[in-house]
Structures are given as structure tokens and as C-alpha cells.
Amino acid sequence: MPGVLIVEACAQTACALMFSQPNFKNKLAFFMGMESIKFRKPVSPGDLLELHVEMLRTGSRAGKAKGIAKVKGELTTEASFSFAIADRNN
């Protein structure tokens, strides 16, 4: 699996985690950047990819998260993400 897709999956999982919180119900997140990306091991077709994300900080206008991906308990990918937070205009 291409590493960029693993990083994208981690970023989207971080957004899902953030939006699961009640105070972010009417917000939008805009991806701003990636930092500290490390590809440790390849991921092959048929592998079960486990994604783990942690919100490092969230404010009213921006936030940062860390994501890791594992296969069979072994670290394959890690990255940090920054994002902007805006109000959703209905």
C-alpha cells in the first residue's frame, strides 16, 4: 500500500476522532500540513492495517494530531498532522 495513502488514512481518522467530540459538532477541519513522517515497514495487499491516532492539542482555530499505523502489532508508519478549524456555515 502506498505510504501516502496510509498517511491520508491516519489524517482522516484523526478528523473522525475530533468530530466525535460534542464541541466540534458544527465545525470543519482543513488539513494544513504533515510533519515527522516515517515509513518503517512496507504494507502489502491482504495486511490488516491498524490505525491509532491521538489529538496532541485542539484550540478554537487549529489543532495537531499524531497517527501511527501497525500491521500485526509492528509499527509501519508514523506522522503528525496540523489542521485549521472553522465554523460550519449552514
- pLDDT in 10s for each residue of the chain, 90 residues: 888 999 999 999 988 888 888 888 888 888 899 999 999 999 999 999 999 999 998 887 898 999 999 999 999 999 999 999 888 875
Strands of 62-71's sheet in order across: 27-39, 74-87, 62-71, 49-58
Structural domain boundaries of the chain?
Answer: 3-87
CA–CA separation, 38 and 61 (whole Å): 27
pLDDT for 90? 58
Q: Which three cell numbers stand for residue 35?
A: 510533519
User: pTM, whole model, 2 decimals?
Assistant: 0.83
Give, in words, the CATH class of 3-87.
Answer: alpha beta
Q: Judging by DSSP bridges, how do beta strands 27-39 and 74-87 pair with one another? A: antiparallel
Comparing CA positions, the residue from 17, 8, 7, 6 lying closest to residue 63 is 17
Taking the C-alpha atoms of 72, 3, 31 and 50 in order, what is their torsion angle to the nearest 10 degrees? -10
Q: Which three cell numbers stand for residue 63?
A: 489543532
